[in-house]
Structure 1
Amino acid sequence: MAKPNVISKGDLIKCAKKCLVDKGIEKFTLRAVAETAGVTQGTIYYHFRTKEQLLVDIVQDICESSWHEISQSNEAVIEQALASAKSRCSYDSYFHKLFFSLVASSFNNEKIKGKLSEIIMIENKALTGNLTKLWTESPIEGVSLETWGIFLNALVDGLALQALLQKDFPIEKTYKEFEQFVSALNNLKSKVSE
């Protein structure tokens, strides 16, 4: 029996994530989300006009949750951010399948493009904010902290794309070396400051 229409948008997003994990993106429908949540489809349409809007909201929720968790830590911020990115980097990552499916959809849908652009800008800003905890200035003259945030975010997304496309992508090795890259930047920054 369906629950009354007293369910929050946040709870629906949680149910939608569960549905996405259980059914996969190919069988993910608003009807399936309604069944998972135990509500009517009308309730889903009240909060999300389209499947694409719900998918974008799921991506935004995951990003905001992970950046909130990372920003609460004052120590090892970059290491924690890399560990979080690595945890979502896999051949069957539903988050990245969803994200890149939405990116492809955004080429023909300005609303999705605008929303994804906002999410990426928020991620870039969060990364830059975390870098300012680590560095007072850029480790390389002429490259701003904002640009470092964009670079690192693009690296994470690029690695995720490669992992989605290559079943044998060396995630462990790549992220270990990514950490060494960031460590080298930190060392470079320390040498410049001396």
Structure 2
Amino acid sequence: MAKPTGIEKSDLITAAKQSLVEKGIEKFTLKAVAEQAGVTQGTIYYHFKSKEQIILEIVQDICENSWNEMVTIDQQMIQSALLSAKSRYENDAFYHKLFFTLIVFGFTNPAIRQQVGQILTAENEHLCHVLEKLWDTSPIDGVSVETWSIFLNALIDGLAIQVMMRDDFDVDAFYQQLEKILQTLYRLGK
């Protein structure tokens, strides 16, 4: 195994993101990441066991950065959260292509499946925490805030399928209406 060259793992993740954007998922390889980062393939293997692990860590990084963008807990946060979610559709649905690719890998690779499950759990927990700060109570009696967090997270991921598969899908119009729904839920939970 090669020794690390002093390059940070986060720098390799950035290089991997750039490689994915420039080359696309079809031509994404460990060699391409090494070339983008200006290191040897051995350095890449030192930090990552496989292409799937790099993709997984890219998705985790995007998720963490996305959720960390939400700094205030009020009505403005709804707009911030929606902008963050909507940004995941930019660059030809880059994030969701990676995420859905990982899901497919997870069908046959139990380790990837477990890690994707952990990402979903972390996202659901973070969203639940945010919703608990937004709402005094759930907007609908008998529906837990945890259920709301899972529902909203699944809604955003399901929306990605619409965006990626339908050329005529109007993301802006949908998000304007989704914001109205969420603002209404916010008021009901107060």
Shorter-chain TM band = over 0.9
- Please name the residue that 1:153 is paired with: 153
- Please name the residue that 1:103 is paired with: 103
**Once superposed, which parts of structure 1, at least 4 consecutive aligned residues long, lie more than 6 Å away?**
none
How many residues end up aligned between the 2 structures?
Answer: 186
- Please name the residue that 1:38 is paired with: 38
Measured in 1, the distance between the counterparts of 2:60 and 2:72 equals 21
Shift of residue 79 of structure 1?
Answer: 1.7
Shift of residue 77 of structure 1?
Answer: 1.8
Secondary structure, aligned partner of 1:92: helix
- 1:49 counterpart letter in structure 2: K
Measured in 1, the distance between the counterparts of 2:189 and 2:34 equals 51
Structure 2 contact 66–85 (Cα < 8 Å) conserved: no
- 2:84 counterpart letter in structure 1: S
Q: TM-score, normalised by structure 2?
A: 0.93
Deviations along 1:45-64, whole A, 9 cap, x unmatched? 00001000010000001101
Measured in 2, the distance between the counterparts of 1:170 and 1:124 equals 26
Instruction: Quote the sequence identity (%).
Output: 53
- 1:182 counterpart letter in structure 2: L
Q: TM-score, normalised by structure 1?
A: 0.92
Q: Which runs of 5+ in 2 are unaligned?
A: none
- Please name the residue that 1:15 is paired with: 15
- 2:104 counterpart letter in structure 1: A
- Please name the residue that 2:86 is paired with: 86
RMSD, aligned α-carbons: 1.4
Secondary structure, aligned partner of 1:107: helix
Shift of residue 176 of structure 1?
Answer: 0.8
Shift of residue 158 of structure 1?
Answer: 0.5
Shift of residue 90 of structure 1?
Answer: 5.2
Deviations along 1:114-172, whole A, 9 cap, x unmatched? 11100011111111111112102101110011111111000000001110111121101
- Please name the residue that 2:73 is paired with: 74
